[in-house]
Chain A
């Protein structure tokens, strides 16, 4: 068995200075290549914090995060940023598309950040796969919520990341749209063999994954 794509060990994260709140406490997690894991938990349980730590956008108080064997805590901030651009894809609850860029340009961003603009044909391929090929020249504000999330998924996958991190990918969508997006998300991540860590409240979303973990009192437990 190869090295895990994501390995988290003894992770601790506190917030606040006076009477700090221990959000993550000795948390451990391991994701193998192609594995899809959902983390569920109540609001404020630390799901998003876990995701931010896994993406290298936040630094732990103790413990370590390894992605593809790279220890993020040993990387300086600029290196972590470059690492994120190269190895990680992110899908946000609020899509976080750049309003001033077209759909094509939004999807192109990770290729540009990785100097891989020669792989632009991936944009068209993914757009067709996700059913947004005819939206490529539009600005995000002209899109529906479901369309925006499909664009966000395309942007997260276009550079073939080793790890896809998704934060409530259907949290801003209505039930019907959410179901459509989830089905697509399931198919695309499965076909691309993506290693996925998704935090969600949504049981249907969690059901897509190989494992579902509960985050309680700063630690993960099998459901």
Chain B
């Protein structure tokens, strides 16, 4: 075995290019999986651990499911005899350019001595005495591009705040993108006087809190917070998982391609080794060991690449999480040995499994085999029954159609794509046969030669068609979804302009005042309360236009409006109805400050604003139950002829902190958030495409080696270099063309499954299936170009070889 290993080592030493290609192929596949896994972890890890850094211990949190806590509660608890150390916190979102930051306002004097953020020296005094003083971690300061003691200009509810950085604290990932301020100063700046988001204390005081806490308040421990974060981000993590699985599928084909390529190169050597008496078992053991070493090394590089990739792309995930779920995730990934070990072991096992066919093929190399050519004998690994692709497609479709959960749908999609991957080369080659049957020019001959290597090329065709389908399918889903959201938001936003205020709240009096304005024809208003599970309860005051703007998924306006206006029924958004399994006619119970209240479900309407769902009830009933007269926004319908500038001027006088947002601005903001949410999908799709390109190049190089003698014969017979390059380029472009042709139906399948099955299960909303053509219009020419470009190097390499040495070697 030592001699065999030495032979392998020398082979790779003499062929560094091939070794590099193999390592890159494996590393690329592993990198995507590692990167996605690390990004997924960030979404649930460290989301709520920031305050633990403040208090320096495992904490428990007092919250009010109905909304913010009244600050008087803190005073009441703190002055109760035997009270533990309590940390009152106000949390709020700040925007810094495109970046979301979290404001964590605390009482600096309440901070534990061990607290990571307890400022030292004069900073505490500055925090207490200076209205706009803030503290951030050193890492955050660097990420924001600010110097120490700089001014941080952020936006809060549309108003610009200038915060002065008076000190930095040492870098801790839990404090990434978080701004620490004094509680009173923050309450003043944000217009949230007397409000707290939660009160935190050490979890060892749970029993005392249970004894002394007023009714209606909740105690949430770290585990519950993590579970809540996990539930909130489940949809996004599921999307990332889907992309990761698809990347893995493409990666496996790459590994197969690369290792099959290495086998072709050494067919002669193996034949000779067999001739001198090396057993089949030893050859297999050698190749298996090589695979483990190559996959192991490639996977190590992949882990490093994946870590870099996750660090580089993390913001593409963090930003939508901050915008959609109001959670500022850590800015740094936290790789764990466990994750690395799992991915590494999986990569090696998958590599071994994927090259099973290659190992079987090596076993079949007869002793004395000196040619590299593989004729029509199928590699053993691909001797799959004809019905297997069909079985995979049918079983995948059955899983998707008959189950309700997300994991079975993912598994179903994976099965269907596996079926597609197996079908792609066979159908593609049949299509190519049509071109090769007639004609006597270069193209039919080149294609005929290509077809005799179809088994060797099958993995590359599969990988390329899957990667293209993935890119186009995700693109179609995103664009189709975007069009649906655009249509929804354009339809839903019926008012001409929306009024919000930066500080304080609008209330019922404001609604009545505005209603009296001659410029205003009618108005709507809403007040929303975020529930602990991330869902919302909204109190609506709607006019006829607003009612007409709803798009009903089940139920209708005629029956829903009277019941809702009577205060006996509520509207549910589609995600809420799907998550709770409710439909019109069912009952839903809501926890309100006035106690539990039960309602009929009147109708379900389409909504893409919150994937945890939303319960809408009529405003007067909401105000009665929540004892809340405030409004988050008021929609203004202007009288005909009223100019926006005229209204803006009047609003500025009446509401100095007021902001007016036009219908178009709301639409643009919504779509901007949407676009940011799906940037990561685009990034991953591009990465997968790049991996597939590696598969294609390695397959083409393998083809060049395998067909080297034939190419040399053609040259000897008088085919010029350019002619031979033309043959090779025709072959590579043909490969890309069949991958493109097969990718079209596959992309439609991916689009349909993502839109009709994955999105409803992951986020709760159903999408109308539209067929945006743009991704295909971009990807088809790009893939053909890629196929040609990927073939350029092998074509040049093959065509530039002198035929004489090759013929002599044969």
Given A58-B804, A99-B373, A112-B440, A81:B720 Cβ within 8 A: yes
Verify A57–B803 contact, CB threshold 8 A. yes
Chain A proximity of B438: nearest CB distance (Å): 13
- 8 closest A-B pairs by beta carbon, nearest first, are A85-B718, A100-B452, A96-B713, A57-B804, A100-B449, A52-B804, A84-B718, A81-B720
Verify B716–A96 contact, CB threshold 8 A. yes
Given A90-B717, A105-B445, A113-B719, A98:B808 Cβ within 8 A: no
Q: How far is the CA of A99 from the CA of B718 in the complex (A)?
A: 18
Contacts of A77 in B (CB 8 A): 721
8 contacts between A and B (CB under 8 A): A55-B716, A58-B802, A82-B720, A92-B810, A100-B710, A101-B445, A113-B723, A117-B440
Q: What is the 8 Å Cβ interface bit string for chain A, positions 71-96, against chain B (1 contact, 0 not)?
A: 00000011001111110101010101
Enumerate B443-480 residues with CB–CB distance to A below 8 Å. 445, 448-453
Chain A proximity of B715: nearest CB distance (Å): 7
CB-nearest residue of chain A relative to B436? A100
Q: How far is the CA of A81 from the CA of B717 in the complex (A)?
A: 8
Enumerate A43-76 residues with CB–CB distance to B below 8 Å. 48, 52, 55, 57-58
Chain B proximity of A43: nearest CB distance (Å): 12
Verify A109–B804 contact, CB threshold 8 A. no
Contacts of B810 in A (CB 8 A): 92, 94, 96
Verify A96–B804 contact, CB threshold 8 A. no
Q: How far is the CA of A105 from the CA of B446 in the complex (A)?
A: 12
B contact residues vs A (CB 8 Å cutoff)? 373, 375-376, 440-441, 445, 448-453, 709-710, 712-723, 802-804, 807-808, 810
Chain A proximity of B150: nearest CB distance (Å): 65
The answer to whether A3 has its CB under 8 Å from any CB of chain B is no
Chain A proximity of B30: nearest CB distance (Å): 35
Q: How far is the CA of A85 from the CA of B803 in the complex (A)?
A: 14
Q: How far is the CA of A117 from the CA of B713 in the complex (A)?
A: 20
Verify A57–B710 contact, CB threshold 8 A. no
Given A52-B804, A96-B710, A100-B710, 16 more pairs with CB closer than 8 A = A57-B715, A57-B716, A57-B802, A84-B717, A85-B718, A96-B810, A98-B710, A98-B714, A100-B448, A100-B449, A100-B450, A100-B451, A101-B449, A110-B717, A112-B445, A141-B375
Query: For the complex, would chain A's binding face be called helix, strand, loop or mixed by DSSP majority?
Result: helix
CB-nearest residue of chain A relative to B724? A81
Q: How far is the CA of A110 from the CA of B440 in the complex (A)?
A: 12
Verify B710–A82 contact, CB threshold 8 A. no
Given A58-B802, A108-B440, A113:B448 Cβ within 8 A: no
Verify A78–B718 contact, CB threshold 8 A. no
Contacts of B717 in A (CB 8 A): 84-85, 90, 109-110, 113, 155
Verify B719–A85 contact, CB threshold 8 A. yes
Given A100-B710, A101-B449, A78:B440 Cβ within 8 A: no
Q: What is the 8 Å Cβ interface bit string for chain A, positions 10-29, against chain B (1 contact, 0 not)?
A: 00000000000000000000
Size class of the A contact interface (CB-based, 8 Å)? 20 to 34
Of the candidates A94, A99, A101, A155, the one having the most CB atoms from chain B within 10 angstroms of its own CB is A99
Verify A99–B804 contact, CB threshold 8 A. no
CB-nearest residue of chain A relative to B723? A113
Q: How far is the CA of A105 from the CA of B437 in the complex (A)?
A: 12
A contact residues vs B (CB 8 Å cutoff)? 48, 52, 55, 57-58, 77-78, 81-86, 88, 90, 92, 94, 96-101, 105, 108-110, 112-114, 117, 141, 155
Contact pick for A48, options B376, B721, B808, CB 8 Å: B808
Contacts of A109 in B (CB 8 A): 714, 717
Q: How far is the CA of A13 from the CA of B807 in the complex (A)?
A: 18
Verify A99–B721 contact, CB threshold 8 A. no
Verify A99–B375 contact, CB threshold 8 A. yes
CB-nearest residue of chain B relative to A90? B716
Chain B proximity of A197: nearest CB distance (Å): 15
Q: How far is the CA of A100 from the CA of B714 in the complex (A)?
A: 13
Q: How far is the CA of A98 from the CA of B724 in the complex (A)?
A: 14
Q: How far is the CA of A69 from the CA of B333 in the complex (A)?
A: 75
Given A98-B713, A98-B714, A100-B449, A78:B808 Cβ within 8 A: no
Contacts of A112 in B (CB 8 A): 440-441, 445
Verify A96–B709 contact, CB threshold 8 A. yes
Contacts of A88 in B (CB 8 A): 718
Contacts of B721 in A (CB 8 A): 77-78, 81
Q: How far is the CA of A112 from the CA of B727 in the complex (A)?
A: 14
CB-nearest residue of chain B relative to A114? B718
Contact pick for B722, options A52, A58, A78, CB 8 Å: A78
Contact pick for B718, options A82, A97, A100, A101, CB 8 Å: A82
Contacts of A52 in B (CB 8 A): 804, 807-808
Q: How far is the CA of A90 from the CA of B712 in the complex (A)?
A: 12
Q: How far is the CA of A90 from the CA of B440 in the complex (A)?
A: 22
Chain B proximity of A72: nearest CB distance (Å): 13
Q: How far is the CA of A84 from the CA of B450 in the complex (A)?
A: 25
Q: How far is the CA of A113 from the CA of B721 in the complex (A)?
A: 12
Verify A92–B807 contact, CB threshold 8 A. yes
Contacts of A78 in B (CB 8 A): 720-722
Contacts of A100 in B (CB 8 A): 448-453, 710
CB-nearest residue of chain B relative to A113? B718
CB-nearest residue of chain A relative to B377? A141
Contacts of A96 in B (CB 8 A): 709-710, 712-713, 716, 807, 810
Q: How far is the CA of A55 from the CA of B717 in the complex (A)?
A: 10
Q: How far is the CA of A78 from the CA of B799 in the complex (A)?
A: 12
Q: How far is the CA of A23 from the CA of B605 in the complex (A)?
A: 88
Chain B proximity of A152: nearest CB distance (Å): 10
Contacts of A92 in B (CB 8 A): 713, 716, 807, 810
Contacts of A98 in B (CB 8 A): 449, 710, 713-714
Verify B719–A101 contact, CB threshold 8 A. no
Verify B719–A81 contact, CB threshold 8 A. yes
Chain A proximity of B731: nearest CB distance (Å): 11
Contacts of B719 in A (CB 8 A): 81, 85, 113
Q: How far is the CA of A58 from the CA of B808 in the complex (A)?
A: 12
Contacts of B449 in A (CB 8 A): 98, 100-101
Verify B804–A86 contact, CB threshold 8 A. no
Of the candidates B451, B452, B721, the one having the most CB atoms from chain A within 10 angstroms of its own CB is B452
Q: How far is the CA of A100 from the CA of B124 in the complex (A)?
A: 82
Q: How far is the CA of A3 from the CA of B74 in the complex (A)?
A: 115
Chain A proximity of B800: nearest CB distance (Å): 10
Q: How far is the CA of A97 from the CA of B712 in the complex (A)?
A: 11
Verify B448–A105 contact, CB threshold 8 A. yes
Contacts of B712 in A (CB 8 A): 96
Contacts of B802 in A (CB 8 A): 57-58
CB-nearest residue of chain A relative to B451? A100
Chain A proximity of B271: nearest CB distance (Å): 15
Q: How far is the CA of A117 from the CA of B440 in the complex (A)?
A: 8
CB-nearest residue of chain B relative to A53? B804
Chain B proximity of A171: nearest CB distance (Å): 12
Verify A99–B716 contact, CB threshold 8 A. no
Contacts of A108 in B (CB 8 A): 440
Chain A proximity of B223: nearest CB distance (Å): 64
Contacts of B373 in A (CB 8 A): 99
CB-nearest residue of chain B relative to A120? B440
Contacts of B441 in A (CB 8 A): 112
Verify A99–B710 contact, CB threshold 8 A. yes
Chain A proximity of B429: nearest CB distance (Å): 12
Contacts of A58 in B (CB 8 A): 802, 804
Contacts of B376 in A (CB 8 A): 141
Chain B proximity of A194: nearest CB distance (Å): 16
Q: How far is the CA of A109 from the CA of B445 in the complex (A)?
A: 9
Q: How far is the CA of A117 from the CA of B712 in the complex (A)?
A: 22
Of the candidates B440, B716, B808, the one having the most CB atoms from chain A within 10 angstroms of its own CB is B716
Q: How far is the CA of A199 from the CA of B539 in the complex (A)?
A: 98
Verify B720–A99 contact, CB threshold 8 A. no
Chain A proximity of B276: nearest CB distance (Å): 21
Q: How far is the CA of A196 from the CA of B723 in the complex (A)?
A: 28
Q: How far is the CA of A212 from the CA of B445 in the complex (A)?
A: 39
Chain A proximity of B92: nearest CB distance (Å): 70
